[in-house]
Structure 1
Amino acid sequence: MDIANLFLELSNPDRLRILKLLNKEKMRLSSISNELGLSVQETYRHLLRLTRSRLISKDNRGHYFLTTFGQYILAPLTSIHFLYKYREYFLTHNLTRIPLKFLERMGELANSRYAPDTFTAIFFIEKIIEEAEKYILIISEQILFGVVKILSKKAETIPVKILLPLYLFIPQEIQINRYMVKN
């Protein structure tokens, strides 16, 4: 099988859904069909194609599962899906300065929320801090002074640690509990 044929097998949304299901657990034909709302015949055709491409296999009890090859192929698809979903952003932003080891993990951001502007990002940060229940760990080049009061209040009930650069200037008017800050 050449790479174009592999991409042909991956181009069908139902086959991708099957791969994602089988990535979680082994399943029988009927279970896959029910879960995806497809006819048994249609599901069988997809399973046959995925089996022929060696992305999945079937055990002697009739359970389909992802092969190790299938797992390796599926892993980067999360990153590709994320890049495609936010393609307008990536068309206008240069990520070449970000180390490859982080770019390869781009798919881990799949369940994140996109902040289209600075104020939305600040709102999300404030919300995350307000909703924190166990701890707050922050690494930043700067302090969002608007969240200092929230952080101080949170520090009374949960551990709060902030890692800041040594050279950062913090105005005296801003009251930050020094035990929270590490330089």
Structure 2
Amino acid sequence: MEDAASVFEDSEKTFIELSNSQRLQIINALKTSSMNLTLIAKHLGITMQEAHRNFNRLMEAGIVSKDSSGSYSLTTFGNTIMTQIPSINFLSKNKNYFSDHYFADLPMKFVQRIGSLDNSEYIQGFVAVMEEIKEMYRYSEEYIYGMIPQVPLDLMEVAAKIVKERKIKFNYILPKNAAVPKKGKDFLNEINFPELLKNGLVERKMIEEVKVSVVLNEKKALVMFPNIKGETDMNGAFSNSFHKENNGLFHEWCLDYFRYNWLNSKPFDNTKLREV
């Protein structure tokens, strides 16, 4: 039987090789195409000696291989390791945030894909988050999906207007005992909300509780995590950026998470809502 130390021996060696910014840059540069020593040194702005030394270490670790023409490329092991780096990067950049926030009951399959949120932008402040959601609503052309712990009246008004005018799909999930504004009922009557439900433009479901929240349309998405009290912190959110390469992965993560909860939610029950 292996002792506790030997279980992590191979992982320790791998982490040692990854604990160098130049080697990480080399791995990142090789994820799209192979390169020779001269090209990688020029690409990273390092000396040939530095590049050679780091390549030797990466080859010894089994992360990089060299062909007969002198070009270096990632091995299967190296490629797979590369897919894990965004998760470490996202958590490392946001370690202060996650010192008082957590993943709550987020299924492990989504935790394992948390690197999809790397390169996201952090929106700070309740007002800024609400404005981001409203903007998302306004630019929606196909659908709006949302799972949040409460329904501010101004969000309700913007969403309803867009759905009625553009005839786009609006699916939302609320937790039992969700806080809804008293004026919300009057507003829903004004816009003939039952007709939107009847026509299928609006669909809604209910879940026991919402801790990790998501809001998205066909292009943009944002996610909010709970604080250590287990309450969704709507004072800050991570949002995807159209200008960064993993925009699609971020959106896909949020969409998959919403669909997962939609499939596991129950029929909507108005009597469970709490007016405030």
- Aligned-residue offset at 1:108: 0.4
- Aligned-residue offset at 1:153: 4.2
Q: Which runs of 5+ in 2 are unaligned?
A: 1-8, 205-276
Secondary structure of 2:144's match?
A: strand
Contact 2:146 2:173 in 1 (8 A): no
Structure 1 counterpart of 2:185: 171
Q: Which runs of 5+ in 1 are unaligned?
A: none
Structure 1 counterpart of 2:158: 149
Structure 2 counterpart of 1:67: 75
- Aligned-residue offset at 1:35: 1.5
Secondary structure of 1:26's match?
A: coil
Report the count of equivalent residues: 181
- Aligned-residue offset at 1:80: 0.9
Q: Which structure shows the bigger proportion of residues in strand conformation?
A: 2
**Aligned pair in 2 of structure 1 residues 71, 146: CA closer, same or farther (>3 Å)?**
same
Secondary structure of 1:87's match?
A: coil
Query: When the two structures are superposed, what TM-score results if normalisation uses the length of structure 2?
Result: 0.57
Secondary structure of 1:94's match?
A: coil
* CA distance in 1 between partners of 2:164 and 2:49 (Å): 58
**Aligned pair in 2 of structure 1 residues 152, 71: CA closer, same or farther (>3 Å)?**
same
Which one of the candidate residues 40, 54, 58 is aligned to 1:50? Answer: 58
Determine what percentage of the aligned residue pairs are the same residue. Answer: 30
Higher relative contact order (CA 8 A, sep 6+): 2
- Aligned-residue offset at 1:164: 2.5
- Aligned-residue offset at 1:117: 3.2
Secondary structure of 1:70's match?
A: helix
Structure 1 counterpart of 2:120: 112
Q: Which structure shows the bigger proportion of residues in helix conformation?
A: 1
Secondary structure of 2:31's match?
A: helix
* CA distance in 1 between partners of 2:160 and 2:22 (Å): 46
Structure 1 counterpart of 2:168: 160
Structure 2 counterpart of 1:140: 147
